[in-house]
Structure 1
Amino acid sequence: MNRVACVVRSHSRDKWSWYVLPWFVVGMAFVINWAIGALAAEGDVFQTGGIASIFVYMFVSGCISVTQSFPFLISLSVRRRDYFLGTTIMASAVCLGSAILLYALTEIEKATGSWGIGMRFFTIPWIDSIPDVGRIWMYLIVLLLMFFLGFFISCWHRRFGRIGLWLLSIGIFAAVTLALVLTTRYERWDDLGRFLGGFSPLGLISWLAAPTALLFAGSYLLLRKATV
């Protein structure tokens, strides 16, 4: 446990990458969108989609975290298991804090009349009717999914190298293409739409916990055999 705590402390020292940069990116996207909306001044409510920046950043953070910290911490005699647990704790804490902050900013956005210019930056109408805790959960699970997707890719690259990463990319592309072709060939898009439409927004997003768990487990297995 002491080594896990050491990993968490090591990550927490990099305040720029974990705490400052993600919200700097969000802040810059917000300022740009607000300026454009203020200059347009049409009076209509408009959706920016800028909230996606925080989710993209978590994906990138997962991709670079292994490269930045894994060799250094392993050189300090930290076990791979301890590194994985410490990184997971750090990422989970950051994602939870970000989810709570996203919820708070959404409420501020509503209270200010969409920042006075009708700009929906944080509000997502699709999930707006979900209770408060449910929205925090949805933000959290998507943030974790994006982080562990990036983390899994980074672990795969460290385990199998550049060629392995190319093969993984080709395999994913081929699988997605085949799924799209078969769905179109057998005219199953309507069936898929009805199936997904049977879930509430909260239920649909909650299903993302399954691929998140698979990425979590896969990352650990890859990291156990990864080269330093």
Structure 2
Amino acid sequence: MTAVTATAVGTTPRVRPNEIWRIVRLHVVNPSIFFIVPWTIIAGAWAVSMVLVLIISAAGGPTDEVTKGMQYSWAVLSPQWYLVVVGVQAIAFTFQFALGFGATRRDYWVGTVIMFLLVSAFNAVAIATLVILERATDHWWIGTAMFDALWYVDSDWLTAAYTTFAFQMFILTIGAAATTVYMRWRMAGMLTLGASALAILLGIVAILTFTESWIPLWEWFASVGLVGGFSILLVLSALCAVFGYAIIRRATPR
């Protein structure tokens, strides 16, 4: 009997594509979380930007100066803060349900990360395309700089897509990883995580200050460039994914 059981366990595949894909489909049962709400926020920010420029133009204000000023606006990043919540909801709303239907923790986490990859890729292509379209239309013909702003000003389509993808992956994975801590240790774990993160941050600030390393740090960031800086975010995203999997393996749905 032991031999039969051992054989059965040993032949169970570690990667189950059908189960992983089922987790991806589980996440899109409610598409508003990943797609509708974020793009509603973007549409609202775009509409506000358009109205503001139209009002200033109607009042005889300098449109060129308005366009340059709006390129420092964070409106293009308006849905990113919501995506932190998306990363949290992706775990909190589906983990128990998925396990109840026979998914393993490995299947669940891989499927969730694949969902994050798909969402980030979709948003990256869409944002990068809107950046180029905004430039091509002379900022929507009225001087509104909604997407052609911040680091996107000096980015071509590929750079805009890559940086958006890296940033969104980081936002989603850090939210999901933090949620696994809550799933494992509840509020005590979250308080410990928050205190640990704050202590590490203060320690880094202290080290950089006492060693007078702030200027060399900024020079190093300048040397790696825009793509290099966002590549660091991708590495951090991978670390968050590994951290989240390590925690969720022991998490108990309640």
TM-score scaled to structure 2, two decimals? 0.84
**Aligned pair partner of 2:25 in 9, 12, 32:** 9
State whether residues 184 and 247 of structure 2, in contact with CA within 8 Å, keep that contact through their aligned partners in structure 1: yes
For 2:47, the equivalent position in structure 1 comes to 31
Q: Secondary structure at the match of 1:226?
A: coil
Amino acid at match of 2:165: L
**Greater Cα offset, 128-137 or 84-93:** 128-137
> Which structure has the larger Rg?
2
- Which residues of 2 match residues 1-228 of structure 1 at below 5 A? 1-41=17-57, 42=61, 43=63, 44=65, 45=67, 46-47=70-71, 48-228=73-253
Q: Are 1:130 and 1:202, in contact at CA under 8 Å, matched by a contact in 2?
A: no
CA RMSD of aligned residues (A): 1.6
Write the letter of the residue equivalent to 2:191: W
Q: CA deviation at 1:27?
A: 1.0
Deviation per CA, 1:109-135, whole angstroms, max 9, x where unpaired? 111222233222112353444443232
Spell out structure 1 runs of 4+ moving beyond 4 A: none
Gaps of 5+ in 2: 1-16
Q: Which has the higher relative contact order, 1 or 2, with Cα contacts under 8 A spaced 6 or more apart?
A: 1
**Deviation at residue 58 of structure 1 after TM alignment:** 2.0
Task: Extract unaligned runs of 5+ from structure 1.
Answer: none
Distance, in Å, in 1 between the alignment partners of 2:151 and 2:22 is 41
Give the AA of the match of 2:175: G
